[in-house]
Amino acid sequence: MFIYMEVLPVNKKKSIIVLSVVAVFIILMAVFAVVSFPIGDTVYDYNGYARTIKLGLDMSGGVSAVYEVVPDEYADLDVRVTGTISSMQSLLVSKGYTEATVSKGTNSNGNTTIRVEVPDVDDPERVLDLIGRPASLYFTLEETDNPKDVAFINGREHLENAYVTTDDDGNYAIGLKFNDAGAAAFATTTSENIGSTTYIYVDGQLMMRPTIQSAITNGSAIITGNYTYDSAYEYATKLQSGTFGVTLKQTEVRNISATLGENSVRIALIAGAIGVGIIFLFMILVYRGLGLAADLALCVYIVLLLWFCAVLPWVQLTLPGIAGILLSIGMAVDGNVIIFERIKDEYGHTSKPIASAIKNGFKRSTAAIVDGNVTTLIGAIVLWVLGSSTVVGFAVTLFIGIILSMFTCLVITRLILKCFVPLNSRSAAFYGLKRYEDAEDAASGKSADGVKVAVKEEA
Amino acid sequence: MAKNKGNFLKSMKNFKVSRYTKVTAFIPLVILLAAIIVVVALGTTGAGGVRKGSYTDAVGIGIDFEGGTILTVTLGEDVENDYEGNARNIIDTIEGFGVQVSNYQKQTANNAEQNAIQFRYKNVDTDDNAINERNTNIREAVNALYPDRPNNVRYESIGATAASDLLNKAGIALAVSVALILVYIIIRFTLMSGFAAIIALLHDVVIMFCLTVICRVQINTSYVAAMITIIAYSINNTIIIFDRCREYLKPLKGQKNIDYNGIGDMAVRDTFTRSVYTTLTTMVTVIFLAILGGETIRQFCVPIILGLVAGFFSSVFIASPLWAAMSASFDRTKEKYAKRNEVTYEKDDEGEEQIVAKSIKGGEVETIRVKNLTAPSQSKPKNNAVYKYSKKNTQFKKKK
């Protein structure tokens, strides 16, 4: 990218074209962020991508569903409830609802309940689609009306996870992961019955009859068939909800409002707009033409950030998430400030023309910007890999913010400035630059302990 | 605004961070002490909705981690008519019983008669009977507010919504990222830069936590994440300053008695404008969020703003003096170690030159004397010359 830009032949005409492209890009992205319209003759509507950014329970509310755990004859109900909660949680996270909460409670009758709260969903029925309708899962070797009695695998006891995967030929398949007991049972049964058919029952219904092709001893298996991604996904979800170790009875489904109040989103937007406006003004006042380039780059940053937040599934904005984005806009300016201070130094202390001061300013600040951002990036990646669900959503936002801020200041600001130079290569006032006087340099250049100040600051 | 700042920043020209280390080292200690006092005071007296003797409450561990009670008040159409008013009313009643409402929200069902407001609060009692008794009392009291809606209040205990291992995972993530960041900085900068940056980072973690406690913000899952962002930005600031140190140090490589303090001070001075600007631009949006937002939002924003100040403080006032002190003492240690195995020339009794090699092994000085057959060179390296940074040797010439 950098190399490409070094050789980019820039003249006035090209500069105007490039600047217009940047401007059009910003305007189009901004418009598409907010407008909604029906698409042609189809039944689909286009919704502004900024409107599709998912929000957390504190900002937008959602749906809350309460399930009562039906006491049964098996032991360790508490352990199974905990297991159910964690599998519901991971199911929701896998569908992008990183801010959903699942908690255990006790209602006034003294029964154990599981409360599921899913943000950013309007229709209570959707919750059921999301966590699946909890169902029983049995594997048997014979076709039967009562699979529970002859099952060698029981979802409640044996299955750990079910997910969509692909087989060796690249067709969609359902992956199964058994726990230790399940792996042992599955290994024994499959090694003794190669060639026979297994029957998989979900909620008493025969769902599949795969043939055992080989002994499976590692505790995982895939079921192949003519699946599309959607059908494989549906089965996987059903199988996984079959692993819920308890029988659940839905007692209540309600819409819930934002815990931060109804207008919290509006407040965040207004605060963001004012803050960004001040940043824009500040950059232009302090750095003039350079600041103008930074502001354009910042526009690119903001629209790209919004777009990524809308399309990436892990991003679900809570108040801290929004605060994080607001902070990141401030940080995106940072790279520009570092570069511009260098350009001022380069111009002030030498007799270089503006174009080469800009070029050198970029060159000498790149290491600092990259090093500073890489350290932050390391933190974000570690959180992404090791953090729990809520933190993952945040780490992703941070990650995008850092990458985009590096991209906008090192590539976009540079591109825009490269276009400014042919249009105006003489006026130091436009760029807010001035040569430092040697007299001033010498006078302030010596500090008390004799250290010579080489590079001095002029704000 | 810009003009005034220009003057202020100009007056920073001769500012030396290394001169104020005594003052600057003091400030974080004061904050830490304040936080400890708050925790101990609240924990032992049981004021402000804190369970007596519960230090996790005093720290402000939120309902996310510990669970509590959900009180649902069914108000039918009154919910839509006067949501805030009803909510305020009920909260006052609930908080009269010594608990603190963490949050409240509207619950709407298909049947508007079923609409309700739900309130969440942490239990202040520890045993189940006491919890039930208090909750029953609260239910009766809230019920009494709405005489024409009998039995419209129910309560339910809820467990922690946050994954119980969230804090553990955050701790592990912090440890791993500290290690990786350390390695990265050591590779790109110097060993001592790495340690100084990490100490500044740990300072931020501790100070953020202290500020949270002092501001009485409830620590919930997403707040943990917000803290992490602040810390990440602070290390970024530190690196920018170290980048200057690295640059000024380049021509002095291999020299002895380098004036690290001078270099650190200069790096801080030269990046000061940028440090101030960046802190202001990051802060401005959050400040407006705090001004415009309600009480809850403000409670969340204040420690973030203070955290940004703390990050600025640690990068400017802690990282570079620390780096200077550590680098200087590291150099001295290296020199000392080098002296241990020094080779000197001495004249023996007969006035003949001898090479004397001294090495220290296990505390004993081993001296090997060898008769010097070649003519010795008497020029010793000048160890006491102090190499100062000067403008001349900063001009890097790079080949194209």
Q: What is the mean pLDDT of residues A68-74?
A: 76
Neighboring chain B residues of A376 at a CB cutoff of 8 Å: 232-233, 235-236
- Determine, for residues B163 and A375 on separate chains, whether the beta-carbon distance falls below 8 Å: no
Neighboring chain B residues of A253 at a CB cutoff of 8 Å: 109
What is the model's pTM? Answer: 0.75
Structure confidence at residue A453 as a pLDDT band (50, 70, 90)? very low
Tell me what pLDDT residue B369 has.
66
- Read off the pLDDT of residues A389-401 as tens digits, 9 standing for 90 and up: 667 777 888 888 8
Q: By the CB < 8 Å criterion, does A8 face chain B?
A: no
Q: What is the mean pLDDT of residues A327-346?
A: 87
**Which of B12, B123, B140, B229 is best to mutate for the A interface (most A CBs within 10 A)?**
B229
pLDDT of A95 strictly over 70: yes
Neighboring chain B residues of A285 at a CB cutoff of 8 Å: 1-2
pLDDT tens across the length of chain B (400 residues): 444 455 555 555 667 877 888 888 888 899 899 988 888 888 777 666 566 666 767 777 777 777 788 888 888 888 778 888 888 888 888 888 878 888 888 888 777 788 888 888 887 777 778 888 888 888 888 888 888 888 788 888 777 766 566 777 778 888 898 899 999 999 999 999 999 999 998 898 888 888 888 887 777 766 777 777 777 778 888 999 999 999 988 888 777 778 888 899 989 988 888 899 989 988 898 899 889 887 778 877 888 888 888 889 999 899 999 999 999 898 888 888 877 666 666 666 666 666 666 666 556 666 666 665 554 444 444 444 455 555 444 444 444 4
Q: Which of residues 63-92 of A touch B (CB under 8 A)?
A: 64, 66, 86, 89
- Determine, for residues A450 and B280 on separate chains, whether the beta-carbon distance falls below 8 Å: no
Domain range list for chain A: 2-36+261-435, 60-256
Q: Where do runs of H (alpha helix) occur along chain B?
A: 2-10, 21-45, 55-59, 63-66, 78-81, 83-95, 128-145, 166-188, 191-214, 221-249, 260-292, 295-313, 320-340
Q: Of B197, B278, B283, which is closest to A337 when you measure between CB atoms?
A: B278
Neighboring chain A residues of B273 at a CB cutoff of 8 Å: 337, 341, 457, 459
CATH class assigned to A60-256 = alpha beta
Tell me what pLDDT residue A279 has.
93
Highest-pLDDT range among A39-43, A310-314, B179-183: B179-183
- Read off the pLDDT of residues A147-175 as tens digits, 9 standing for 90 and up: 777 778 777 677 777 778 887 777 888 88
Tell me what pLDDT residue A297 has.
94
Neighboring chain A residues of B231 at a CB cutoff of 8 Å: 379
Of the two residues B10 and A386, the one the predictor is more confident about is: A386
Q: How many CB atoms lie within 10 A of CB B139?
A: 19
CA distance to partner chain B, nearest, from residue A374 (Å): 9
Tell me what pLDDT residue B7 has.
57
pLDDT of A333 strictly over 60: yes
Q: How many CB atoms lie within 10 A of CB A296?
A: 22
Neighboring chain B residues of A386 at a CB cutoff of 8 Å: 169, 172-173, 176
Structure confidence at residue A67 as a pLDDT band (50, 70, 90)? confident
Q: By the CB < 8 Å criterion, does A61 face chain B?
A: yes
Topology, domain A2-36+261-435: Multidrug efflux transporter AcrB transmembrane fold (1.20.1640)
pLDDT of A24 strictly over 90: yes
In chain B, which residue's Cα lies nearest the Cα of A455?
B270
CA distance to partner chain A, nearest, from residue B193 (Å): 13
- Determine, for residues B259 and A390 on separate chains, whether the beta-carbon distance falls below 8 Å: no
CA distance to partner chain B, nearest, from residue A123 (Å): 10
- Determine, for residues B300 and A320 on separate chains, whether the beta-carbon distance falls below 8 Å: yes
Please give, one letter per residue, the 3-state secondary structure of chain A.
CHHHHHHCCCCHHHHHHHHHHHHHHHHHHHHHHHCEEECCCCCCEEECHHHHCEECHHHHCEEEEEEEEECCCCCCHHHHHHHHHHHHHHHHHHCCCCCCEEEEEECCCCCEEEEEEEECCCCHHHHHHHHCCCCCEEEECCCCCCHHHHCCEEHHHHEEEEEEEECCCCCEEEEEEECHHHHHHHHHHHHHCCCCECEEEECCEEEECCECCCCCCCCEEEEEEEECHHHHHHHHHHHHHHCCCCEEEEEEEEEECCCCCCCHHHHHHHHHHHHHHHHHHHHHHHHHHHHHHHHHHHHHHHHHHHHHHHHCCCCEECHHHHHHHHHHHHHHHHHHHHHHHHHHHHHHHCCCCHHHHHHHHHHHHHHHHHHHHHHHHHHHHHHHHHCCHHHHHHHHHHHHHHHHHHHHHHHHHHHHHHHHHHHCCCCHHHHCCCCCCHHHHHHHHECCCCCECCCCCCC
CA distance to partner chain B, nearest, from residue A230 (Å): 29
Structure confidence at residue A75 as a pLDDT band (50, 70, 90)? low
Q: Of B14, B239, B274, which is closest to A447 when you measure between CB atoms?
A: B14
Percent of chain A topping pLDDT 70: 87
CA distance to partner chain B, nearest, from residue A408 (Å): 16
The predicted complex's ipTM stands at 0.74
Of the two residues B13 and A52, the one the predictor is more confident about is: A52
Tell me what pLDDT residue B149 has.
81
Q: What is the mean pLDDT of residues A375-394?
A: 81
Tell me what pLDDT residue A236 has.
76
Structural domains of chain B in order of their starting residue, each with its CATH number: 2-41+164-336 (1.20.1640.10), 68-158 (3.30.70.260), 341-371 (no CATH)
In chain A, which residue's Cα lies nearest the Cα of B194?
A375
Q: Of A276, A321, A371, which is closest to B243 when you measure between CB atoms?
A: A371
- Determine, for residues A457 and B9 on separate chains, whether the beta-carbon distance falls below 8 Å: yes
Tell me what pLDDT residue B194 has.
93
Neighboring chain B residues of A89 at a CB cutoff of 8 Å: 163
pLDDT of A351 strictly over 90: no
